[in-house]
Amino acid sequence: MPLGSRGPWDKSESRYCGVETEFSDDVPGLLSYNISSGGFDFVVAPLMNPSYRPSSVGKDGRNSSVMPVAGSDLVLSPSEWSSRVVGKISSWIDLDSEDQTLRLDSETTLKQELAWASHLSLQACLLPAPKGASCANYARSINQVLQGLNNMQLWLRVPLVHVDDDPEEKSSSHPNDSWELWNSFRLLCEHHSQLSVALDISSSLPSPNSLCRWFGEPLRVAILNTDCFLTNTRGYPCLSKRHQNLVTGFFNHSIQIVISGKLLHKLHGGSSGSAALNSNNNAERVQTHPLRVYLDYVGYLYQKMDPLPEQERFELGYRDFLQSPLQPLMDNLEAQTYETFEKDTVKYLQYQMAIAKALTDRVPDDKVSDVTTVLMVVGAGRGPLVRASLQAAEETGRKLKVYAVEKNPNAVVTLHSLIKLEGWENTVTIVSSDMRHWDAPEKADILVSELLGSFGDNELSPECLDGAQRFLRQDGISIPTSYTSFIQPITATKLYNDVRSFFLVLHYRSLVFCLCPLCASSCAVLQVKAHKDLVHFETAYVVKMHSIAGLASSHPVFTFIHPQHSVEIDNRRYKKLEFEISRDTGSVMVHGFAGYFDAKLYKDVHLSIEPSTATPNMFSWFPIFFPLRKPICVKPGLPLEVHFWRCVGSTKVWYEWCVTSPCPSPIHNPNGRSYWVGL
């Protein structure tokens, strides 16, 4: 039974909680006890008798042709095997043992069990944790299996350990940071997309920065041991505040919980934990499963989470989907794209506020009846900024004359209809032209535009506004007046794997601007193909980032100011940035960089998607992702030095980027060979 629901939109896998069990020959009975009676959704169960060793088969008269598996594939239906059972590979396996017999037995058993799990069409198998710091032979064997594996996922069990100061831990055969163990294993398996992490949670937790790394990794399940739980005043299990926050983070990232261990809480009267935790439960039930009290507590944590805000619900279907950025200068936008932009009321309210302040500054109160402000909306689209400008004029009592300049002939048709519908014929003049080539009949007092992209300047706002500012008065106001791009190093295993292997090319307008996540697959034009070339690692993608870990605070990159009255305008830029990753984070893997912008519309009115200053409930922009061709591992205390260039040619603008420390990467996208924006 799922942990609960936080609304009809809640389709997260983390609603389902499993339990780790011992080996049983009676698989139907095992499911009946743990699922039907115990209330768990699936079991993580051994597939083979733990006493089995290939080297001893036949020596004691046992039948060497039949393996001691948990049961015939006929004891459950294929759908039950697939949805109710996660295979647990024998925990005694040690493929890096010095004992040759144990090593060979381990390799044989591993492949036998995984072959049996594949035959059963299991969705996943839990691999035992590496026994020591060296895991090369274990990884080699898993990598061999991965090359021919069906759709089954392999979950490598990794204990959540990050010890900085304990000399006893440091001298042990295990690394003092379990992330290092995982990273070594996945590098040996070439970042295979079917290899994921099962994080073993214990009673002690590492630092928050160290924990943060895991949310950018392919973490599929968290194994919550019963010794993690404390005891509340009524004798029931509970978790520390830090453990609660961690579990809530797992829920938010669709990471499933598995309860493991023995009952450590002596409950009076044998009552269910849910009765103590849920005030709406009027009758206490008889406890039938020893671990049900822990399941009830996890369900309680799930149900008390705050519901997602409306913006997050809207974006839920688009999380971690890579999309090509818009090129509105080269391409004419479609009606669906305009419609979605226009639904972002927060953005246009900010624009209206900025225009109102500019009008007030431009025309003093004693001249409102004498002065008419000339305002030009460049890139008017279907008119939302025209409407915001007129509403600002009405709000401030200022007289306004508006020029709506738009190059898209299809949007101009809509503009003409809007003018007639609203009765703005005497106030608004429509100009069907590219702003860079139009000869304005008079100078503008205020120039308004919404040409910003996810990285600020990546939709060529500088080039467009530089071309349009010739018809702005010398003392005129540009809205926006400036904007700055930001980058942040991130761990983003899912995004990296999408780029390097089977990547869905979803055009930005086809996916982001479909309002219904359920029909995204039918209304987007999808092309599924293998991406083995560097072109896709040298392209910037728009993406609603979710399964990522930000490794340091974002740093500013390029700033543009309008109007720009320099004699010679040069929109080329170069910036060297250095990021310091906190020592208590441990080592990290950098898969690329998240890009944001912060725009000053006018005075103190801002638009921002940069995390520390983001405008609440604004959804017009998702961040941009600059991938690295090869992820870079950064050790604690070492700086990450990054270089970004904005290059301008006669027909295009493009970015180049690279890392020079702790180790150099190739310069990505030289001469805009893979990704560029057309002028």
Measured from the Cβ of residue 295, the count of other Cβ atoms closer than 10 Å reads 24
Tokens for 286, please give them: 């008889």
Alpha-carbon distances of 427 from 51, 94, 419, 471, rounded to whole Å: 87, 80, 9, 19
Measured from the Cβ of residue 529, the count of other Cβ atoms closer than 10 Å reads 10
Please name the residues in contact with 467: beta carbons below 8 A apart, sequence gap of 6 or more.
435, 436, 437
CA pair distance 300, 160, nearest whole angstrom: 24
CA pair distance 543, 318, nearest whole angstrom: 8
- DSSP letter string, 342-404: HT-HHHHHHHHHHHHHHHHHHS-GGGTTT-EEEEEEES-TTSHHHHHHHHHHHHHT-EEEEEE
8 Å CB contact between 320 and 544: yes
User: Which residue among the candidates 113, 459, 463, 538 is catalytic per the annotation?
Assistant: 459
CA pair distance 254, 252, nearest whole angstrom: 6
CA pair distance 318, 358, nearest whole angstrom: 36
Our answer to whether residue 394 is catalytic in this structure is: no
Measured from the Cβ of residue 663, the count of other Cβ atoms closer than 10 Å reads 11
CA pair distance 189, 168, nearest whole angstrom: 30
Residue 559 pairs in a beta bridge with 484
Alpha-carbon distances of 643 from 126, 454, 556, 639, rounded to whole Å: 41, 19, 12, 13
Measured from the Cβ of residue 392, the count of other Cβ atoms closer than 10 Å reads 24
Instruction: Fill in the amino acid letter for 609.
Output: I
Our answer to whether residue 459 is catalytic in this structure is: yes
DSSP assignment letter at 459: T
* Residues tagged in the binding site annotation for S-adenosyl-L-methionine: 338, 347-348, 406, 434-435
Tokens for 359, please give them: 């009008």
Instruction: Report which of 234, 144, 142 is spatially closest to residue 182, judged by C-alpha positions.
Output: 142
User: Which residue among the candidates 113, 450, 538, 656 is catalytic per the annotation?
Assistant: 450
CA pair distance 175, 183, nearest whole angstrom: 12
Show which residues are catalytic: 450, 459
